[in-house]
Amino acid sequence: MSFLGIEDSVTGRRWIGPGLEVERQAEHLHQLTQLPLPLCKILAVRGIGPEEAAGYLDPTLKALLPDPRGLKDMELAAKRTLQALDQNENVAIFADYDVDGATSATLLIDWFRQMGREVTLYIPDRIDEGYGPNVPAMEALAAEHSLIICVDCGTLSHEPIAAAKAKGADVVVLDHHLGGETLPSAVAVVNPNRQDELDAPGYLCAAGVVFLMLVELGRILRDAERNGPDLLSMLDLVALGTVADVAPLIDANRALVRQGLKIMARRARCGMVALADASGMNEAPRAYHLGYMMGPRVNAGGRIGKADLGARLLSTTNPQEAQAIAARLNDLNAERREIEARVQEMAMEQAEERGLDAPLVWAAGDGWHPGVVGIVASRLKEATNRPAVVIGFDGDDGKGSGRSIAGVDLGASIQRLAADDIIQKGGGHKMAAGLILSRAQLETAMERLTELLAKQGSGLQGAADLRLDGVLMPSAVTVDLIEELEQAGPFGASAPAPRFAFPDVQVFFAKRVGQNHLKLSFGDGMGARIDAICFGAFDGPLGPLLENSGGQRFHLAGKLEVNHWQGRSSPQLRLDDAATA
């Protein structure tokens, strides 16, 4: 049943809200815990009972961090890493070019540096080398390094790792991407998503896996009565990698991100400070800032610039160098947005022609920059509530990226295509994956992928559902309430920020800001008013309708946040949708 009776909103979506059972559970939780009722509604929606509420609202590493030794090969990886340190070996870090790769690499660079050693960083070029280890790069590294640690990659890299081994180097893999039936000939492959891992924390990103190895290294050092680095000070890196890689904010990830945000707020890492300043952050960091402001800038280097810029920024100890790199990444991010906008327009048009109700939404085009196809796939997924794949072709060679929705494992399905030789190469994890294929393989691959996703239930969920956590009146919204709701965070993948409906309100002020955003103020006529911002409002029907509302009343839906401006803090609604009242 639709929420507030809204089957077709201004943006064409049906509103779905909590049922009576959730409302009853929230009331019960409120009575037992005395927590604010709106917060109890969020907890009830997430299935949190009275006994679990305190632990959920205060996630700690002590309670939630998995035992590193529960992961296969962890002790081998830690001991080989410590051996390289103690024997003064040359060590190279081979990392992926995204945020997770950059933060994972920086964690190791930081750890070795605090132990008195410098290591070599190698990040492949997205276009020239592609994802993961390749034979020429691994052979070159093996010629000068006795240990190569692959982070956020390597689980499927049989030939490159064998090539490094043939040159005399050992390889340790710290990864989270879905493993194959066999593992490469590395000293250790630490990956919670290995096929032989039965009860591992598969929700961790690579930065989380690397952090677990550092925890294991710390235990070994303590047992030997040796001092190691302060690992808690590195949680800002783990938080950024976790949020930017869209890892689910559940279990230990909640504690890693919550604690990491506190570390980030101290502004002790000069690269992180420069990144935050370049992003225009003027408040304490939240998961939103990591995912939508800082992460995209780190990614911009790997997408359309020099692949190692992000890791160099995060690992530098020189504030001037950090500011220069952050400025360069900021410029690249602006350039990336322009490229992305052009590809997105073409991809959406193509997807609409193909139909948006299928289990898979996909598009492919000539000359589409491989650095933006993943972002465009994410945009298609968000617009359709379907897994999406976007592929750019250079001649007959296609490189694509996909993004999935909750409950649909895209990485496993794409890996199945590769195993069946329907595509040349592919893999990833549940929510994101990449693939390489020829033009001749395109139609068959997309047809088969659609079938595999349909078997997982993709396409059954309404393409236009907007989920809401309840109703609020403008007079109830205060900065204190919003800060209380933040206790249920951090918010992100698998833990969306709460969204509330404001029924039967009037827009008192509306003004276009920037190119396509809308700033407005609304209230229910009882005296209380709330400011709101709607990003991209004029890309669709929301902007024109609300800008010229003419006294018409609406139901509004969005997420609450605190707006900090000129030393003042006030409630603000980040508007998602509206419906005529």
CATH number for the domain that contains residue 540: 2.40.50.460
What span, in angstroms and rounded, lies between the C-alpha atoms of 46 and 251?
13
Tokens of 571: 């409630």
CATH of the domain at 140: 3.90.1640.30
Residues 447 and 476 in one domain: no
In sequence order, the 6+-apart residues with CB closer than 8 A to the CB of 497 are 288, 489, 491, 559
Residue 482 lies in a domain: yes
Residues 380 and 492 in one domain: no
pLDDT at position 567 is 79
Residues 120 and 210 in one domain: yes
pLDDT tens for each residue of 186-200: 999 999 999 999 999
What span, in angstroms and rounded, lies between the C-alpha atoms of 465 and 573?
20
Domain termination site, one of 234, 266, 298 = 266
Enumerate the β-bridge partners of residue 564. Answer: 569
Domain termination site, one of 402, 432, 455 = 455
Cα–Cα distances in angstroms (integers) from residue 517 to residues 54, 441, 510, 537, in the given order: 39, 41, 10, 5
Domain termination site, one of 250, 266, 282 = 266
CATH of the domain at 380: 3.10.310.30
Residues 100 and 124 in one domain: yes
Question: What totals of helices (H) and strands (E) does the chain contain, helices first?
Answer: 21, 18
Residues 215 and 118 in one domain: yes
Residue 63 lies in a domain: no
Residue 223 lies in a domain: yes
Tokens of 171: 């390889």
Enumerate the β-bridge partners of residue 395. Answer: none
Residue 27 lies in a domain: no
Q: What type of residue sits at position 18?
A: P
Residue 71 DSSP SS3: coil
Q: Which residues of 424-446 are buried (b: 16+ CB within 10 A; e: fewer)?
A: ebbbbbbbbbbbbbeeebbeebb
Residues 540 and 499 in one domain: yes
Residues 150 and 116 in one domain: yes
Residue 393 lies in a domain: yes
Residues 109 and 240 in one domain: yes
Residue 9 lies in a domain: no
Could you tell me the residue range of the domain that residue 223 belongs to?
A: 72-266
Nearest residue to 95 via CA among 153, 137, 141, 46: 153
Residue 10 DSSP SS3: coil
Residues 436 and 521 in one domain: no
Residue 343 lies in a domain: no
pLDDT at position 553 is 95
pLDDT tens for each residue of 165-183: 999 999 999 999 999 999 9
Residues 227 and 136 in one domain: yes
Residue 443 lies in a domain: yes
Residues 494 and 381 in one domain: no
Cα–Cα distances in angstroms (integers) from residue 278 to residues 234, 315, 370, 496, 511, in the given order: 21, 17, 25, 26, 27
Is there a contact between 189 and 169 (Cβ–Cβ < 8 Å)? no
Residues 378 and 477 in one domain: no
Q: What is the DSSP string of 232-284?
A: GGGHHHHHHHHHHTT----HHHHHHHHHHHHHHHT--SHHHHHHHHHTT--SS
User: What's the domain count of the chain?
Assistant: 3
pLDDT below 70 — which residues of the chain? Answer: 1, 461-464
